[in-house]
Amino acid sequence: MDVAWLVVALAGAGVVAGFLAGLFGIGGGAVLVPVFYQVFGLVGVDEGLRMHLSVGTSLAIIVPTSIRSLMSHKKKGAVDMELLKSYVIAVPTGVLIATLIFASISGAELRVIFAVIAILVGFRLIINRSDWRLGDDLPTGAARFGVGALIGFLSTLMGIGGGVLNNTFMTLFNRPIHQAVATSAGVGVLISIPGFIGSMWAGWGEEGLPFLSTGYVNWLAVALVIPITLLIAPLGVKFAHKLEKRQLEVGFGLFMFVVAARFFYSVL
């Protein structure tokens, strides 16, 4: 693939991912992973490595994107800091467990995991009803720790910042979608930092990786996409606070269906 077209494709991914990071609190991974999967395929990366490389590179990019998004939401007073502090041990624990099994999972299995979770989340958001609640407030203690660990575990395998799962968790326990979106940006920080380090470790010494890769993280993609996502994320945050609750829910749900369809198609 021509280098100029590769740069254009990665730049486009950065614009979309940055905007969605601010809009939905997803860190951009739900966009970056399928885009990277396509781009790395076009430049000749083996299919057995492509999904792992996409996930690892996505997690590396989510680090600064999530930090920027969190800071923007926090200025608006929308972040549940009590919940975020209770996740400090739980979420990285799930990330660590996912990292230990990451290298042994096939690319097809990673894509199926991504697609199944995306469909479940999308269905819940689009066919939403006001009485769809698991409780009036978030659980505490061991239950919250377990949820945090599960969010960290599944999000790492998907290469996302946790917004997909944390948004669902918080809204099922009667929290406003805007607060869920804002808090999910912080969850992305807790997932992406240990997640991308673990991705480098899991792919260390792997043959067939593209130029400027450390394990399952490609630094060329990181260098191109990060500045763009940092620039665009605050625009997504601004737009999110102009939308009604139901508009955010339907938009996020439709986005999840599109992503799921893409990955199911890739394993056929």
pLDDT of 90 reads 96
Contact between 17 and 32 (Cβ < 8 Å): yes
pLDDT of 200 reads 96
pLDDT of 27 strictly over 60: no
pLDDT of 226 strictly over 80: yes
Contact between 58 and 33 (Cβ < 8 Å): yes
pLDDT of 40 reads 84
Tell which wins on pLDDT, 203 or 211: 203
> How many residues are there in the chain?
268
pLDDT of 174 strictly over 90: no
Quote the domain boundaries for residue 226.
3-266
pLDDT of 26 reads 62
Q: What angle do CA 169, 160, 254 make, to 5 degrees?
A: 65
Alpha carbon of residue 183 to chain centroid: 14
Q: How many CB atoms lie within 10 A of CB 6?
A: 17
Q: How far apart are CA 123 and CA 119, in angstroms?
A: 6
Tell which wins on pLDDT, 10 or 254: 254
Alpha carbon of residue 102 to chain centroid: 16
Here the tokens at position 206 are 């792997």
pLDDT of 1 strictly over 60: no
Helix 3-24, helix 47-75: angle, nearest 10: 40
- Mean pLDDT, rounded, of the chain: 85
pLDDT of 9 reads 76
Q: Total domain count for the chain?
A: 1
Q: What angle do CA 105, 54, 40 make, to 5 degrees?
A: 115
Q: Grade residue 33 by pLDDT with cuts at 50, 70 and 90.
A: confident
pLDDT of 162 reads 83
Q: How far apart are CA 265 and CA 74, in angstroms?
A: 38
Q: Grade residue 153 by pLDDT with cuts at 50, 70 and 90.
A: very high
